[in-house]
Chain A
Amino acid sequence: MGRARDVRLAYLLLAPALLMLSTALAYPVGWEVWTSFTDLSPLKDGATAYVGLANYSRLLSDAAFWQAAFVTVGYAVVTSVAKLALGLGFALLLVRPFRGRVLVFLAVFLPWAYPAGVSVIGWYWTLNPPTTTAYAPFMGHLKYVVDGTLGTGAWAFTSVILFNIWRGSSFIGVLLLAGINAIPPELFECAVLESKSPWRRFWLVTVPLLKPFLALAVFLSLTSAFADLANVWMLTAGRIVFPVIGTHAYFLAIKAGQFGPASALSLTVVPVLLGVLLVLFRLFDPLRREAT
């Protein structure tokens, strides 16, 4: 009888978390999946009809979808690579003591610590000074050159990418710094005893030891880029020339009232991210047991 009571207690203790997850996560996702199979729209009178895979098949033949998907993948890959490289650099810089480390740490940490809205305005004003400054003409010229070469909106999108890298590398830097600090220092010292080349030590020791943290960083970075809406929206104030999946779905749902297609669109990133997650777990899961 003791065991039955234990089981009941276990469920009781789990209940708040389950309730939270099911209301905040499972219900909306379930609703979205269901919606993606319907023609639900606030602009339409009458009953909502089940349309099967129609929303999805229409997507696949839509050039706008492919453009958004292409831009999204590019955006995610470019920013992730840059954030990982910069973040790792920050972490390696900050792991050793030096004069002024606190200030450098603050400079690295603050872009991420501030709320996105505040960081965005700071970034926007950096690129588009609100008052006349020494470099305001230069920034204006830069925008003109970039847009002139790559097409209208290129500068705006470049600034979105730079902003993502700036803020994201801050987060990844702090994450990897924590990761390096969690590794016993003897593992690095042992390598110092065997090799003079920091480069060799980095690739043979630091990177393998950091793998679990690097995997987490890659995943978080890709996820945030794939699902990005806020950064793009806030920085460009909705004047979007290069839509990503997130902004395109927002347009469809909120501006055009097409809940069904919008749901289908935003769900397309799920299999991609699941695939990435699976690969990363395969490659880097430190708890994976080898057969002995």
Chain B
Amino acid sequence: MAQVMMKDLNKKYDEVHAVKDVNLHIRDKEFIVLVGPSGCGKSTTLRMVAGLEEITAGEITIGDRVVNDLPPKDRDIAMVFQNYALYPHMTVYDNMAFGLKMRKFPKTEIAKRVGEAAEILGIQELLKRKPRQLSGGQRQRVAVGRAIVRHPQVFLFDEPLSNLDAKLRVQMRVELKRLHDRLETTAIYVTHDQVEAMTLGDRVVVMKDGWIQQVGEPLELYGRPANRFVAGFIGSPSMNFVEMTIAEANGALWADTPGIRVKVPPASASRLGPYKGQKVTLGIRPEDLHVATGSDSADYSFDTVVDVVEPLGSEILLDVKAGSNVIVARVDPTVRAKLHDKMRLSLHPERVHFFDQKTELAI
């Protein structure tokens, strides 16, 4: 039963301001993911919750206790590290029992908890081995097991899957999700991988340069990114951005740039009114573009030339040029396209995003 509150949290090193005014309310039993490029402050934030970094300013509350001055041991957290941090001189059993032994739990209780965790993770037969005799995936399970046995109020995960190969990463991702559903413990998970963030998080916190950019449920971040950075960071392949001028013609607003001219969808028109005559950034996801057919409105279509074809099997990525703009479209695998083919594309009017050029905020 623990919520985690961060209030005006700041971390300054000598010259680097790593975390800036972070305010975050993590609900009890919530799985929250901090995501962002390296150096965005996500790991530092996590380490402040753990107590491995001192808090420069602000307050962290776990449950109903302010933990700023509590030593890590008394914060009732358990952490899983990126490189597993297993002790090479201890067996799997001893590694998992380590925290409990340090806390002087009775032997029978330790054996019971380690047994339970090993069963949950399916590593019973590994208990007598040393870490170096395990594969990467097994090591990561042991590291998770070491956290589980502690029955902590909060799990902290610092990029726990980054050292695994792609296939194992996907598998462990599913296992972690299942585990969280089963244990119902608050979890804070740090990753630079937006797919991990989207698939694991009840809510996702996107960070950049020490600032929180947006907090929201995965589909909220995907559908309504608060600014250009979040829009480009979430989703793969990334959203296309095109600089366009807003102009009025025939009683409607149009976004215009050499090679592309599309109508501003009615839903956005009122908000874009003040931008008449100014430049804005139009954002459109590759999956919100398709090859134009007769039924598509000419208002939302434009001509392109195919530059690169990437057939992925379930879909085809087309890099196309419209004027001097390079745009990626994710199209149906039945589309037959060759280099230099002319192709008319249509965009999904309700899924167009506009961003202010100065503030980069969504309009």
- Interface residue from A184, A193, A292 paired with B133 (Cβ < 8 Å): A292
Chain B residue total in the interface (Cβ 8 A): 25
Chain A residue at minimum C-beta to C-beta distance from B79: A193
Q: A190-B79, A192-B52, A196-B73 are in contact. Are A208 and B102 (CB under 8 A)?
A: no
Contact across chains for A189 and B83 when beta carbons are under 8 A apart: no
Contact across chains for A193 and B83 when beta carbons are under 8 A apart: no
Contacting residues, chain B, for A193 (C-beta < 8 A): 50-52, 72-73, 77-79, 99
Say yes or no for A200: interface residue by CB 8 A criterion: yes
Chain A residue total in the interface (Cβ 8 A): 20
Say yes or no for A115: interface residue by CB 8 A criterion: no
Contacting residues, chain B, for A106 (C-beta < 8 A): none
Contacting residues, chain B, for A186 (C-beta < 8 A): 81-83, 85
Say yes or no for A209: interface residue by CB 8 A criterion: yes
Contact across chains for A211 and B78 when beta carbons are under 8 A apart: no
- List B residues 70-92 near A (Cβ within 8 Å): 71-74, 77-79, 81-83, 85, 87-89
Contact across chains for A209 and B72 when beta carbons are under 8 A apart: no
Q: A194-B99, A290-B130 are in contact. Are A208 and B87 (CB under 8 A)?
A: yes
Contact across chains for A184 and B85 when beta carbons are under 8 A apart: yes
Tell me the smallest distance from the CB of B315 to a CB of chain A, in Å: 39
Contacting residues, chain B, for A211 (C-beta < 8 A): 89
- Interface residue from A187, A195, A196, A290 paired with B87 (Cβ < 8 Å): A187
Contact across chains for B87 and A192 when beta carbons are under 8 A apart: no
Bound CA–CA A195/B104 (angstroms): 10
Bound CA–CA A141/B81 (angstroms): 59
Contacting residues, chain B, for A286 (C-beta < 8 A): 88
Q: A186-B81, A190-B79, A191-B102 are in contact. Are A205 and B72 (CB under 8 A)?
A: no
Contact across chains for A196 and B85 when beta carbons are under 8 A apart: no
Say yes or no for A53: interface residue by CB 8 A criterion: no
Tell me the smallest distance from the CB of A104 to a CB of chain B, in Å: 19
- Interface residue from B50, B72, B83, B89 paired with A208 (Cβ < 8 Å): B89
- Interface residue from A187, A194, A290, A292 paired with B102 (Cβ < 8 Å): A194
Contact across chains for A184 and B52 when beta carbons are under 8 A apart: no
Bound CA–CA A209/B99 (angstroms): 17
Contacting residues, chain B, for A189 (C-beta < 8 A): 52, 79, 81, 85
- List B residues 38-53 near A (Cβ within 8 Å): 50-52
Say yes or no for B98: interface residue by CB 8 A criterion: yes
Tell me the smallest distance from the CB of A286 to a CB of chain B, in Å: 7
Contact across chains for A205 and B87 when beta carbons are under 8 A apart: yes
Say yes or no for A139: interface residue by CB 8 A criterion: no
Q: A184-B83, A190-B85, A205-B87 are in contact. Are A195 and B73 (CB under 8 A)?
A: yes
Contact across chains for A194 and B103 when beta carbons are under 8 A apart: yes
Contact across chains for B85 and A194 when beta carbons are under 8 A apart: no
Tell me the smallest distance from the CB of A75 to a CB of chain B, in Å: 32
Contacting residues, chain A, for B102 (C-beta < 8 A): 191, 194-195, 200, 204
9 tightest A-B CB contacts, nearest first: A186-B85, A194-B102, A195-B102, A194-B99, A186-B81, A208-B89, A190-B85, A193-B72, A196-B71
Interface residues of A (CB under 8 A from B): 184, 186-187, 189-196, 200, 204-205, 208-209, 211, 286, 290, 292
